[in-house]
Amino acid sequence: MGYDRSVYDSVYQILNGRRLQAEQAVERRRTDFYRVEPRGQEIEHELRQAGASAAKAVIRGGNVKKNLDQLKKRSLALQDELKSLLARQSMAPEDLEPHYTCPLCQDRGNVDGRMCSCMKTLLKEEALRQLNAETPLQLSAFADFDLSFYSDTPNKNGHSARSIMENIFLYCRNYAENFDVKTSESLLMTGKTGVGKTHLSLAIASRIIERGYGVLYGSAENLLTKLQDEHFGRSSNDTMKSLLDCDLLILDDLGTEFRSNFTISAIYNIINSRQLTRKPVIISTNLSIKELEQSYTERFSSRIIGGYTRLPFCGNDIRQLKRIRNS
């Protein structure tokens, strides 16, 4: 799965911290045990010597079986003696070993060259944490989407804002539940400010991350500012790689950024590159289709109009309605 580099860095820091904590803890237990039972340290030293002697016995040859049987008998006797000493201190042999959070990978994050399940879980948790920290709202969920804020009065076509938004809500929820980086389509959420575009895009992100995919969310303005800083040498990060590699990219508030030749070119490069690699994008914007055509290049507009499923949001500003309802 594709995650932002900062997510991986944070997870490796967590794993290293866990590993260090486990190894420091076992050293403290060993020190305390040896202080009251010094014979325990001697036994462990003798057990290590027995192991080395066994290897030498195999190399030297001769009556290997007899020598190994004697060493095995000696080792078992030492282990029994060590268990007795430990029991006297209400301890077990396991207390002299590190207690890793994940015994499978010993908090390294990988097993035999493959990512451990504990690291996959940490990546999901950290991606959610960063997503929540960077959004202007607390992380939104489908369960929190309140359709009662939309009018149920039919328009001239016989459709109410509530019925339209209910269909969009169900579509977004189904999109998240069935997301597949290879087959899911890109979405264009249009509509005026405050009608739920950010809420539903974040709800999609949250659910998709829970399912193990990597999601990068950001406002177009913030992401383009990062790209400009990197392009002109003011930062050494590689935001473009993250934008192109993540499983799902969510560009919020497209059209609010300061537009220049650089930003227009960068947006086209992102959209075109992800379309070529068949990686989905969700774009939310307050601009109409006509305004998008006027604000960006014809090539960009054709990519969006021809390759994205449009979700036209409607209704009144929910934030204002919430303030009125809660006042």
Phi-psi domain of 240 (left: phi exceeds 0; alpha: psi -120 through 50; beta: other)? alpha
Q: Are 319 and 194 in contact (CB under 8 A)?
A: yes
- Whether residue 36 is found in the same domain as residue 155: no
Let me know the angle formed at the C-alpha of 19 by 17 and 20, rounded to the nearest 5 degrees. Answer: 65
Count of beta carbons in the 10 Å neighbourhood of residue 122: 22
Of 83, 102, 121, the one marking the end of a domain is 102
Phi and psi of 246, rounded to 5°?
-65, 155
Nearest to 27 by CA among 107, 76, 98: 98
Digit-by-digit pLDDT tens for the chain (327 residues) are 567 778 889 999 999 999 999 999 999 999 999 999 999 999 988 888 877 776 666 666 666 677 677 778 888 998 999 999 999 999 999 999 999 999 999 999 999 999 999 999 898 888 767 766 766 545 688 999 999 999 999 988 889 999 999 999 999 999 999 999 999 999 999 999 999 999 999 999 989 988 888 888 888 898 888 888 887 877 666 778 888 888 999 999 998 888 888 888 999 999 999 999 999 999 999 998 888 888 888 888 888 888 999 999 999 988 888 887 776
| DSSP structure string for 43-111 | HHHHHHHHHHHHHHHHHH-SSHHHHHHHHHHHHHHHHHHHHHHHHHTT--GGGGS---S-TTTTTSSEE
Of 46, 78, 102, the one marking the end of a domain is 102
10 within a domain of the structure (yes/no): no
Q: What is the pLDDT of residue 5?
A: 79
124 within a domain of the structure (yes/no): no
Domain coverage including residue 49: 21-102
- Whether residue 308 is found in the same domain as residue 266: yes
- Whether residue 182 is found in the same domain as residue 321: yes
- Number of domains forming the structure of the chain: 2
127 within a domain of the structure (yes/no): no
- Whether residue 255 is found in the same domain as residue 151: yes
